[in-house]
Amino acid sequence: MATTLGVEAPTNVVNLPKVVTVREDVYVRKASGLVRTVGPSSALFSNLVAMGIIVNFFWVVFASAGYPNANLVDTVLIGVLINVGVGFVYWMLSSAMPRSGGDYVFMGRIFHPSIGLATNLVFSAVFITWAGLFAYYITVYGLPMMLGSYAIAGGSSGPLTTFQSMISSSNEIFAISALILILVILISFLPTKWIFRTTVGIFAVTAVIYVVMIGLLLFTNQATFASHWNAANPANTYATIAASGASGDTITTSGTFLGIVYTMLSFVGYANSSYYAGEIRGSPTRTQGLAIFGAPIIFAVLIAVLYATTYLTFGRDFIVGLSTGYVSGTVAVPAFPSPLLLAAYILPSGGISPVLAAFLSFGVVLTFFGFSLIYFIVPTRNVFAWSFDRVFPSALARVSRRGVPWVAVIGLAVFAFVSLYFSVYTTLFNYLGYSNFGFWFAVGIVCLGGALFPLIRPKLFAQAPRIVRTRIGSVPVLTLVGLLSFGASWYVSYASSTAAFLEFSSYSYSGLMVLPAIFVVGFVLYWVSYAIQKRRGIPVDLISKELPPD
């Protein structure tokens, strides 16, 4: 048996349990091979990129069509209360167990590696399908929206017409989306610091677009937008669309609570830094506190302002009526009717307006690219963690001299292209609602694990940083917050399942059960691996009793 100590150096402070015993034959090697190059600001910006600070300018259409009785501004208040609790749980667990793999490590060490793999496999399945799905979204939503905005603001309609003809068949959509996904994969082979510099760049550009868009909305009144809309759309006037929205969009408390689904979908991503915790430099407690706990608070402020200014300038009734009309096919628009596209009607025709309008809608393209990149990177770190524990083939834990888990990248690239194929050629991934259901189902398990951590693993809990061990009386704060977050997460999962009764006819309960089924698959996979490794004489029983090497 070897003893590994938590070592602190000026550039590498590591919050580890004081003494961790490591059997050298349990893990693939004595050290992970990952390089600690991600600082606090990079982790924060990357989490915010994964959430998408302007993506609600896109989701607002589906949210308004699917949940016309919800006040989306109020859903942010509900959402931030839930996510601050969940973020606290992830922050504490990341501080206690600062290793790559996130909830795989947490649940594996608190409950059992089989539960860790099952939970983490659900998240990884969601994320790797998003890598292909959002490349597809760029092609069918983002680029047409950008070119449509350019045309509406006085530019030529030729680029939009040309692009629409280019994506007139599924094969063409797949080809363009595949090029985008190839770029994502190539970036994933870069050293970690360059990947995160890319995400910081994405954040910077989308932040500029956010500020410009909010400023534009604040200085434009509803009457001005209505007159510009009417001039361009005499057959579907502002008053007609707003009246159709007003006929069925009475705000209700129950409607608002159910309508948190898309708001909660957009919160997904602030815990991503827990999955590459082995590449975080400095104090994990400080870095993860900023990235995991701080990100949902910052994000909540940004999207509350986003929703409020959208309602202020365009009118809630109009947004609901236009969104419902677009989804049902009764209202024709040049491209997806995001507020970013609607902003093109506000700008004066000609001059630099077409370029500015296209730049605003380019924000969605950039956001979806960031999603594709981040949600490809995260599963590679999860696969690395499974393989490092010898639950999956050890070859998947190989890293380059620059700390890149290149075998995992290649392996998951295959799955990303499979997800792209299904996105383009089937309706299988008309399932953002399904993924929301499965995601929050799995989050609930993590929160329950956090609540039980002090009771199930008292020795490991006792070695955690002081903030993790904070109590109210005799009860750990982590237990209280974990229990509340467990209930809240499963409520969101339930709310996602109710979409079968709303606008989207493709929604089905058989599809809803796919991700819980993946949980079962992960559980079975662990025990198959366990039997194989046990036969080879590898003591995998010890995995749940110690943290992997740093």
307-341, pLDDT tens digit by residue?
999 999 999 999 999 998 998 888 888 899 999 99
Residue of 442, 102, 482 whose CA lies nearest to 292: 102
Q: What percent of the chain has pLDDT over 90?
A: 50
Please give the pLDDT value at position 402: 76
User: Is the pLDDT confidence value at 549 over 50?
Assistant: no
24 has a pLDDT exceeding 70: no
In sign, the C-alpha dihedral spanning 201, 184, 33, 271 is: positive
Residue count of the chain? 550
Q: What is the pLDDT of residue 12?
A: 43
Reported confidence tier of residue 21, pLDDT bands at 50, 70, 90: very low
Phi-psi region of 101 (alpha: psi -120 to 50; beta: other; left: phi over 0): left
Q: Which two tokens stand for residue 241?
A: 């669309």
- Using CA atoms, how far residue 262 sits from 70, 267, 305, 387, 526, in Å, is 11, 9, 16, 34, 33
**pLDDT value for 545:** 60
Using alpha carbons only, what angle is made at residue 41 by residues 38 and 42, rounded to the nearest 5 degrees?
Answer: 45
The pLDDT confidence band at residue 536, using thresholds 50, 70 and 90, is: confident
Residue 226 and residue 176: Cα distance in Å, rounded? 36
Spell out the alpha helix ranges (H) of 389-506.
Answer: 406-425, 432-456, 458-462, 477-497
pLDDT of 18 over the 80 cut: no
Q: How confident is the model at residue 502 (pLDDT cuts 50, 70, 90)?
A: very low
Q: What is the pLDDT of residue 548?
A: 53
Q: Is the pLDDT of residue 9 over 50?
A: no
**Average pLDDT of every residue of the chain:** 84
What's the pLDDT band for 5 if we cut at 50, 70, 90?
very low
Q: What percent of the chain has pLDDT over 70?
A: 86
- For residues 195 and 307, which has the higher predicted lDDT (pLDDT)? 307
Q: Are 363 and 54 in contact (CB under 8 A)?
A: yes
506-512, long-range: CB < 8 A, 24+ apart: 506/427, 506/430, 507/430, 507/433, 507/434, 511/428, 511/431, 511/434, 512/433, 512/434, 512/437
287-291, 303-307, 462-466, 473-477: least confident range: 287-291
Contact 164, 148 (CB under 8 A): no
Q: Which of 476, 481, 488, 479 is nearest to 443 (CA)?
A: 488
Do residues 110 and 459 make contact, with C-beta atoms less than 8 angstroms apart? no
The confidence band for 20, taking pLDDT boundaries of 50, 70 and 90, is very low
pLDDT band at 290 (very low <50, low <70, confident <90, very high): confident
| The pLDDT of residue 398 | 81
The 10s digit of each residue's pLDDT in 402-452 is 778 888 899 999 999 999 998 899 876 655 667 788 889 999 999 999 999
Tokens of 18: 């004081």
| Confidence band, pLDDT 50/70/90 cuts, at residue 386 | confident
- For 4, phi and psi rounded to 5 degrees? -110, 125
- With a cut of 80, say whether residue 7 has pLDDT above it: no
Helix intervals (H) in 4-55: 40-51
Cα–Cα distance measured from residue 7 to residue 14, given in angstroms and rounded to the nearest whole number: 6
pLDDT range class, residue 237, cuts 50, 70, 90: very high
Q: pLDDT at position 152, please?
A: 94
The pLDDT of residue 15 is above 60: no
pLDDT digits (tens, 9 = 90+) for 350-378: 889 999 999 999 999 999 999 999 999 88
Residue 270 has what pLDDT?
85
Q: Locate 164 and state its tokens.
A: 């629409």
DSSP bridge pairs for 475: 472
Which tokens sit at 216?
Answer: 């534009």
What are 318's two structure tokens?
């109009």
Task: Report whether pLDDT(301) > 70.
Answer: yes
Cβ atoms of residues 279 and 37 within 8 Å: yes
Tell me which of 16-30, 197-211, 501-515 is least confident.
16-30
The dihedral region occupied by 102, where left means phi > 0, alpha psi between -120 and 50, and beta the remainder, is left
Q: Which residues fall within 8 angstroms of residue 436, CB to CB, at 6 or more apart?
A: 261, 264, 265, 268, 492, 493, 496
- What are the tokens at 230? 């009417």
Mean pLDDT of 492-502: 68
pLDDT of 504 over the 60 cut: no
| Residue 384's pLDDT band (cuts 50, 70, 90) | confident
With a cut of 80, say whether residue 239 has pLDDT above it. yes
In this predicted model, what pLDDT tens digit does every residue of 51-63 receive, in sequence order? Answer: 889 999 999 998 8
pLDDT band for position 546 (50/70/90)? low
> pLDDT tens-digit profile of 154-190?
999 999 999 989 898 999 999 999 999 999 999 999 8
Give residue 543's pLDDT band: very low, low, confident or very high (50, 70, 90): low
Residue 265 one-letter amino acid: L
- The reported pLDDT for the residue numbered 8 is 34
At residue 248, does pLDDT exceed 90? no
CATH number of 2-545: 1.20.1740.10
Residue type, 500: A
What confidence category does residue 151 fall into, taking pLDDT thresholds of 50, 70 and 90?
very high
3-state secondary structure at position 326 = helix
Decide: 152 and 160 in contact? Cβ < 8 Å.
no
Strand 19-22 vs strand 471-472: parallel, antiparallel, or unpaired? unpaired
In DSSP notation, 159-184 reads: HHHHHHHHTSSHHHHHHHHHHHHHHH
At residue 41, the pLDDT reads: 74
